[in-house]
Amino acid sequence: MSGGGDDRPGAPPRLAVIIGSTREGRAGEAVAGWVAALARRRGDLEVDVVDLAEFDLPARYLCAVPPAVAAFTGRVDRADAFVIVTPEYNHSFPASLKQAIDYAYDEWRAKPVGFVAYGHGSEGMYAIEHLRAVCTELHMATVRGRVALDLLAHPVDRASGADGAGPPAGGARPEQDATAMLDQLVWWGTALREARARRPYVS
Ligand SMILES: Cc1cc2nc3c(=O)[nH]c(=O)nc-3n(C[C@H](O)[C@H](O)[C@H](O)COP(=O)(O)O)c2cc1C
Residue-wise pLDDT tens for the chain (203 aa)?
Answer: 444 556 777 899 999 999 999 999 999 999 999 999 999 999 999 999 999 999 999 999 999 999 999 999 999 999 999 999 999 999 999 999 999 999 999 999 999 999 999 999 999 999 999 999 999 999 999 999 999 999 998 888 777 666 555 666 666 789 999 999 999 999 999 999 999 999 999 97
pLDDT for residue 66: 96
Q: Does residue 90's CB lie within 6 angstroms of at least one atom of ligand 1?
A: yes
Q: Does residue 186's CB lie within 6 angstroms of at least one atom of ligand 1?
A: no
**88 CA distance to ligand 1 middle (Å):** 5
Q: Does residue 87's CB lie within 6 angstroms of at least one atom of ligand 1?
A: yes
- Which segments of the chain does DSSP mark as H helices, in order? 28-42, 67-78, 95-103, 125-137, 173-198
Q: Does residue 26's CB lie within 6 angstroms of at least one atom of ligand 1?
A: yes
Predicted TM-score (pTM) of this structure: 0.95
Query: CA 42, CA 39: separation in Å to the nearest integer?
Result: 6
Atom of ligand 1 nearest to the CA of 158: 25
Tell me if 158 sits within 8 A of 29, measured CB to CB: yes
Task: Give φ, ψ of 164 to 5 degrees.
Answer: -70, 145
Q: Whose CA is nearest to atom 21 of ligand 1?
A: 27
Tell me if 79 sits within 8 A of 14, measured CB to CB: yes
Query: CA 94, CA 117: separation in Å to the nearest integer?
Result: 11
Alpha-carbon distance values, 79 to 26, 165, 174 (Å): 25, 22, 24
pLDDT for residue 191: 97
- Residue 108 is given by DSSP the state G
Q: Whose CA is nearest to atom 15 of ligand 1?
A: 120
Which of 127, 132, 131, 130 is CA-nearest to residue 150? 127
Q: Whose CA is nearest to atom 29 of ligand 1?
A: 89
Q: Does residue 150's CB lie within 6 angstroms of at least one atom of ligand 1?
A: no
Q: Does residue 20's CB lie within 6 angstroms of at least one atom of ligand 1?
A: no
pLDDT for residue 158: 77
Q: Does residue 24's CB lie within 6 angstroms of at least one atom of ligand 1?
A: no
**34 CA distance to ligand 1 middle (Å):** 19
Tell me if 51 sits within 8 A of 16, measured CB to CB: no
